[in-house]
A and B are shown apart, each in its own frame.
Chain A
Amino acid sequence: MSVESVFPQLEALLPLVTKPVQYVGGELNAVSKPWDSVSVHWALMYPDAYEVGVPNQGVQILYEVINEHPDALAERTYAVWPDLEALMRANDVPQFTVDCHRPVGAFDLFGLSFSTELGYTNMLTALDLAGIPLHARDRDESHPVVVAGGHAAFNPEAIADFVDAAVLGDGEQAVLAITEIVRAWKAEGRPGGREELLLRLARTGGVYVPSFYDVDYLPDGRIQRVAPNRPGVPWRVSKHTVMDLDEWPYPKAPLVPLAESVHERMSVEIFRGCTRGCRFCQAGMITRPVRERSARTIAEMVDNGLAKTGYEEVGLLSLSSADHSEIAVIAKGLADRYEGTETGLSLPSTRVDAFNIELANELTRNGRRSGLTFAPEGGSERMRKVINKMVTEEDLIRTVATAYGNGWRSVKLYFMCGLPTETDDDVLQIAELASRVIETGRQASGTKDIRCTVSIGGFVPKPHTPFQWAAQLDHETTDARLRKLRDVIRADRKYGKSIGFRYHDGKPGIVEGLLSRGDRRVGAVIEQVWRGGARFDGWSEHFSYDRWMAAAQNAFEGGPVDVDWYTTRERDYTEVLPWDHLDSGLDKDWLWEDWQDSLAEVGVEDCRWTPCFDCGVCEQMGTEIQVGPTGVTLLGMPPLPPRGDDLLAAAPSPGTAL
């Protein structure tokens, strides 16, 4: 049975909404497959506005991987803004995909990519608009299987009521495995209905089906145990790890939207994983081990991507791009290759050392040097030991001075507030640091016309990190500490005017904390706050802390837990954490030791350069570190073709000179 496009109904609403172009699709390199030509249909959603979601690499990769499958198709959908949501409700237009404007409810699978927990309420809007029951238990065979992925899926307990399944880790092979299971089950005539399909998925050990696990609680609110409630369902579900990134050079044809997005450039992921071991960093912990893409594949992806998109800038993306073992070769090779072609190259820089500046200089050889970004994260040297981001103040000052000396005019420094054991004094040291940065920078550059921006936000403890047991700082203390820092910076007569100060207040962090370390009881809060109107919680103009707190109060009424219990409470060694049955590969005892080391201000090395410290990942997952150098010194690319030769005029025509 074919599925009709809802575009005719939608079209009449578009003149009435802001930025209608975000709903029409038409991206370059988008794929439209006839519905009946395949048996497995995926709708993929990045649950935020189109402008944020469309550049997302995870969705672009999965979209392409699925569409390459001869018997499957994938289309994309994004969160609609409240103005269109209201019109869709009034006119019975369902949640649609932007590719072929098919109703999301008609697909076999509805995959959501959560890079942040603040997208949960947008998921509920999409489910509701799609006509899919909010609760997984109310769905039947006519409804898509709702699958969560992305970093937040490493603890999907807060959304366990709403998703049928969750996938941890890399999605490339996982979506193909799921496609195969769904295809076979449909081909066999859907034996055993939805339950059987979910069972087949769960039995692989790589797909978490929350409804197949029961959670028991102790009278004080802590979890007693989480256990499977069906035979054949494994006790623990493990994450997926793609082992040879050269075999998976996606996206091969990156999407180029017509609408403006938050990320107006092409991205090429140069490696996955990070073993620097910053203790606050969930991304680093859950994506281990480091797997590099080779310089040659990277160069090919850049070249091919530019040819297919026409983008004027390429970002070399990863968790810590300067750490690629062949980054110097890559940077120089690409800068040489694209010299004179008005192609910009960039690295999201975070590492605080001179090498990073050399790289940035190389990449901006022909372009503008506007700003560099470093992330020392901790304000004092003591704090940086606690979080295992070992940068000395001297290193930092020297690095920044080099940057100003090389013509960079502004440096942005990222910090966190509310880290374990932190005091006011640790944060106030940021002001001194910034003053020294400006002082040194003025000397190095010989001009007063330089700036340093301090950007600081509240720390949120995340699952699968050594800080998963830590107490989050309450928002009152966070805000007070940030105000003190602001006042000290403002009071600095000599340098204060050159220091910018940007901070995020502590309240959204508390909601993020509730969601990220939440368990199944938090689902009721999400549902209530959504019913109360919560949408787009990642946007300060839409976020309402009070609405969240009111919903939490209601939902937790009469029970042993509350928001503080989830956020500002420190956990102890014996507590069963809501995500203990979800295996990121990290050994819980290793994490605990790292937490203890952190409190003792003891650092841990990077396992790329020192012997394995047994974090557990490689042993548990059967993976290994994959780093170069491969010894490549040239990128081995054929020369760029001269521009326009195939379009040249047959013979120079006289033409009127103008």
Chain B
Amino acid sequence: MKLKLIPTIIMLLIFALLTAISYQDNAASDGFTKIGFPFNFYLYSGGKFSNPSITSDFGFSTKYFIADLFILILVIVIGNIVVNKWRETNK
């Protein structure tokens, strides 16, 4: 399958937009700083927690970063398949 440039760029932009919209930066006032869509590959808070297991998950998560990349690639591939099918049926 060949990837079409414009649909691929549009899907990349949508993904970047969703990442930007879901970005939160409240760690300085004890809320959460979260980056990543759909999974947060970066999570941090300066707040106080009663359960230490929460803070042990803080920082950059390679697992979620790869998951986000995988989903992005999947969305691009599926998106291209849909666009190709739609173009064929509308020929």
Real binding pair: no
Footprint of B on A, CB under 8 Å? none
Footprint of A on B, CB under 8 Å? none
